[in-house]
Amino acid sequence: MNEKFDFSFRVLSAISSPLRVEILKLLSRKKLLSFTEIMYELGMTPKTDAGKFAYHLNQLRDANLVISDEKTGKYFLTPLGENVVDFLWLLDDFGRREFGEIFVRTSRLKMERFDRSKIAEALKREAGVPQELAEEIAKEAEDRLFKLKVKYLTAPLIREFVNAILLEKGLEEYRHSLTRLGLPVYDVSQLVKNAGKKSSFPNPELARGLAGDSVFEQYLLLKVLPRKVADAHLSGRIHIPQANYWILKPYGIQHDLSLILKMDISLNSKNITFNPLIPPRDVYDIPLYFYNLFNIFDTHFSFFQTIDFFNIFLAPLFKSINYEKIKNILKKIIEFLNRKWNQTIITFNLEFSVPSFLENEPAISFEGKEDGTYGEYQEEARNILRALIEIFRKGRDGGLPYTQPQLVFKIRKGNIDLEEFDKVLKLSIERGQPLYANLTLDWQLPNTSYSASLHRFDSNYKRNWKIDTIRTCCMAWIAINMVRTALLAKGDDDKFFEEFNDTINCAVKAFLIKRDEVRKRSSIDKLLPLLNLKIDNEPYFREETATYMIGYVGLPEAAQIHTSNSISEKDTQNFLMRILKNSEKIAEEISIEHDLRLNFMESPDVEPSLRFLKLNKGIFKNYKDITPPFYSTNVIPATENLSTLEKIKLANSTHTYLRGGHILNINLDNNSREFNELKDITNNILANNIGLFAYTRSSTYCLNCKEINQGILRACPICNRGFEELMYNTRLTGPYTSIYAKNIDQDFLNFLVGSKLTK
């Protein structure tokens, strides 16, 4: 036998054993393994199989396919061994194509032949895995998949196998990028089954929307946010509201009605079909104009839209129009807005008279034409104000309140003596709907605008009311779990503020990512074309003055836990003030460092409170006895029985530090306050440093007998139907809203019926 034939025979003989082939493939993937490691990888036991294994390994060494490292004793493939393994893979591919072919059902719903290279390509493309490592993982996945002996594979199954291999190798970062986003089959079934049960207007789009929401929330937490920030949200240190929209669009916008009335809102692009929004030509165009305006911007903002100076900027369009006609047109606007589904919260900021800084501004009338100055339209502005008050006092057919738009009445010096102011107070007594912005305070001037969702915009950022309060937005807000901070600190001030500051840093990292993502959606992906609208070469939307808000949840409870005293005690109030002052300093430093308009606020939503409460109970089992049944969304403890004067005092010392948003809510349920008493309380509030306040009167509407009764009730007093048939009209945070009792968590419902929130 010649030498050349002898060499070929030894190689072919070496690979004639399935076990030796497995050893070669294993070393091809793992590169460097010890004698024992190879045995374990192949499922062999050193105690019983060592002799057998040594024989096979020596056969590979004799054929010069495998050698060992002199220092470590670990085995690896020779160059000849690598070539032989490549040949073995080619043989496997050929054999599977010819005799044992397996098909893959792809995500494009096509049947394709299995191809290992596509796994490697996906690893490189989707997760950035290096070429050599990608090929190694693909080979291992192929081996495992073909051992299943199934007739066809699916793309998700292959992805699961690859992800399992990545986890086994400790490559978790790559696994995050490769993870398939979506819902299990069971979850989709439940989603379709239950989507319509928690809506006032059930429809198929609810199920589709919820599925999409889940995907984008998973994408945010797995791919976009840093691990520490995502973990902070999942564990309940922070809460990211509307995580499904975080990378897609801003939270809310402050419109400039005077400018919108001058422009055709259109997208001049041959790739976009868009019916332009044209300024109204006469008063009959106004209702549909506003309906379309809010619908268009609904697509670009996830939670609220606010119009400042609504009655001032609208006044020129009602020039020489009688009061009854004004009221009829406004009623149509309100009726239109209350027919919208899945809409943003709409807020009208209203003035009792034309502010001095607007008096000489050019007034915009029909088709965007100038017609005098706004100072010339005092009477029309007052008529709009009076008509809105009258419409809201009457409510909808059947006695139900309107929930769109929300009305914020801006009180400036001298307004409280006006006849219209008394009418608003009577609306509060009857309906409990209006919000009052106290602009008599120096720190609120020259202009401050509020949304009903509590988000506040003042003119202290660029020192220009036009730039700071209109044509800008709230980009995002994040809730922080103050009770968690207090529980972790265990009374130690240093630990408290260390944990608090770290939580703030997590929120800020999320804000910076939000800003970058929205900029990408606007400038690169072209998903937010309205943000690029320009008038006279100037963008309508001012992203550079967008606000970012951090909302406290459980602030008074945290102060009470930390000091072991009630909120009425001085040391507890002092510690609460220390938190606020520390926050103000942090906000100023971060704003400068990151060019980020950061402010702190009271929470505008109860959802983070309920979520934090549930998570805290699960983690801090020893603290159940001191855990309140509800975490306060503002500085007034929800579970404390404080008098109106005590609430005013507490809000007086805190609102100036809550520049992102705040509210003092005086509830009128089970309280028959007379008009003069309410006016006295109002005068007291206005004399204090309280920026926004409201008088809330709740009601319960029975869906069965169509009757409405005062207060939050557990059952209808007329037909005795339970909460499944009840709808509550009330204010839990900022917006006055309608809530279906069946959609409320049972524990929260029990608390709500007997709580200080509604008493």
259 — phi, psi (to 5°)? Answer: -85, -40
Same domain, 162 and 258: no
Residue 638 forms part of a structural domain: yes
Same domain, 454 and 528: yes
Q: What is the DSSP letter of 188?
A: H
Residue 210 forms part of a structural domain: no
The three-class DSSP label of residue 222 is: helix
Scan for tokens 């001030």, then name that residue: 493
* Residue 268 region by backbone torsions, left for phi larger than 0, else alpha for psi between -120 and 50, else beta: beta
Going 201 to 207 to 211 to 212, the CA torsion angle's sign is: negative
H or E segment and range at residue 370: strand 370-373
Same domain, 119 and 54: no
Whats the size of the chain, residue-wise? 759
* Burial (CB count within 10 angstroms: exposed 0-12, middle 13-18, buried 19+), residue 130: exposed
Task: Give the contacts of 510 (CB within 8 A, at least 6 positions apart).
Answer: 225, 229, 238, 240, 246, 476, 478
Residue 470 forms part of a structural domain: yes
List, as one string, the DSSP characters of 227-251. HHHHHHHHHTSEE-TTGGGTTT--S
List, as one string, the DSSP characters of 16-52. TSHHHHHHHHHHHHHS-B-HHHHHHHTT--HHHHHHH
- Bridge partner residues of 730 (DSSP): 737
Nearest 5°: CA angle at 459, between 453 and 460?
110
pTM (two decimals): 0.80
Closest CA to 261 of 280, 236, 287, 242: 280
Domain boundary among 647, 665, 683: 665
* Burial (CB count within 10 angstroms: exposed 0-12, middle 13-18, buried 19+), residue 168: exposed
Same domain, 151 and 58: no
Q: Is the distance from CB of 61 to CB of 41 less than 8 angstroms?
A: no
Report the CATH number at residue 28.
1.10.10.10
Closest CA to 381 of 258, 491, 288: 258
Predicted pLDDT at 341? 61
Residue 705 forms part of a structural domain: no
112 — phi, psi (to 5°)? Answer: -125, 155
Q: Is the distance from CB of 741 to CB of 724 less than 8 angstroms?
A: yes
Same domain, 343 and 481: yes
Scan for tokens 């809550």, then name that residue: 658
As a whole number of Å, the CA-based R_g of the chain is 33
H or E segment and range at residue 186: helix 185-194
* Residue 657 region by backbone torsions, left for phi larger than 0, else alpha for psi between -120 and 50, else beta: alpha
| E strand spans, 618-731 | 664-667, 692-696, 699-702, 708-710, 726-731
Predicted pLDDT at 394? 94
The three-class DSSP label of residue 152 is: strand
Residue 596 forms part of a structural domain: yes
Scan for tokens 């309060």, then name that residue: 469
363 — phi, psi (to 5°)? Answer: -85, 130
Report the CATH number at residue 276.
3.20.70.20
Residues of the chain falling short of pLDDT 50: 1, 108-110
Domain boundary among 116, 149, 178: 178
Closest CA to 486 of 469, 504, 498: 498
Q: What is the number of domains present in the chain?
A: 3
The three-class DSSP label of residue 214 is: helix
| Tokens (6 digits) for 728 | 């509550």
Q: Whole-angstrom Cα distance, residue 531 to residue 65? A: 64
Predicted pLDDT at 450? 97
Same domain, 549 and 490: yes
Q: Whole-angstrom Cα distance, residue 367 to residue 370? A: 9
Domain boundary among 618, 644, 665: 665
Q: Between the CA of residue 419 and those of 322, 351, 426, what are the distances in Å?
A: 19, 13, 11
Q: Is the distance from CB of 620 to CB of 558 less than 8 angstroms?
A: no
Going 401 to 403 to 407 to 408, the CA torsion angle's sign is: positive
CB atoms closer than 10 angstroms to residue 119: 24
| CA diameter of the chain | 119
H or E segment and range at residue 364: strand 362-364
Predicted pLDDT at 109? 44
Residue 172 forms part of a structural domain: yes
Predicted pLDDT at 1? 47
Q: Whole-angstrom Cα distance, residue 321 to residue 629? A: 53
Same domain, 20 and 168: no
Q: Whole-angstrom Cα distance, residue 70 to residue 310? A: 84
Residue 632 forms part of a structural domain: yes
Going 508 to 558 to 244 to 230, the CA torsion angle's sign is: positive
730 — phi, psi (to 5°)? Answer: -160, 180
pLDDT tens digits, one per residue of 658-705: 999 999 999 888 777 789 999 999 999 999 999 999 999 999 999 999
Q: Whole-angstrom Cα distance, residue 491 to residue 195? A: 44
Same domain, 26 and 156: no
Same domain, 109 and 62: no
| Tokens (6 digits) for 328 | 């009829």
175 — phi, psi (to 5°)? Answer: -60, -40
20 — phi, psi (to 5°)? Answer: -70, -35
Q: Is the distance from CB of 429 to CB of 668 less than 8 angstroms?
A: yes
328 — phi, psi (to 5°)? Answer: -65, -40
Same domain, 550 and 647: yes
Same domain, 64 and 156: no
Same domain, 337 and 480: yes
Q: Is the distance from CB of 334 to CB of 402 less than 8 angstroms?
A: yes
Going 749 to 755 to 758 to 759, the CA torsion angle's sign is: positive
Closest CA to 155 of 130, 180, 134, 186: 180
Task: Give the contacts of 597 (CB within 8 A, at least 6 positions apart).
Answer: 461, 545, 546, 547, 548, 591
Summarize the chain as % helix, strand, coil (round to 5). 55, 15, 30
b/e per residue 554-583 (b: at least 16 CB within 10 A): bbbbbbbbbbeeebeeeebbebbeebbebb
Q: Between the CA of residue 552 and those of 339, 557, 562, what are the distances in Å?
A: 33, 11, 16
Predicted pLDDT at 669? 84
H or E segment and range at residue 572: helix 570-594
The three-class DSSP label of residue 474 is: strand
Helices (H) and strands (E) in the chain — how many of each? 27, 26
Q: What is the domain range of residue 156?
A: 102-178
Q: Between the CA of residue 460 and those of 341, 374, 382, 418, 660, what are the distances in Å?
A: 35, 24, 28, 29, 12
Residue 570 forms part of a structural domain: yes
Q: Whole-angstrom Cα distance, residue 669 to residue 526? A: 49
The mean predicted confidence, pLDDT, of the chain is 86
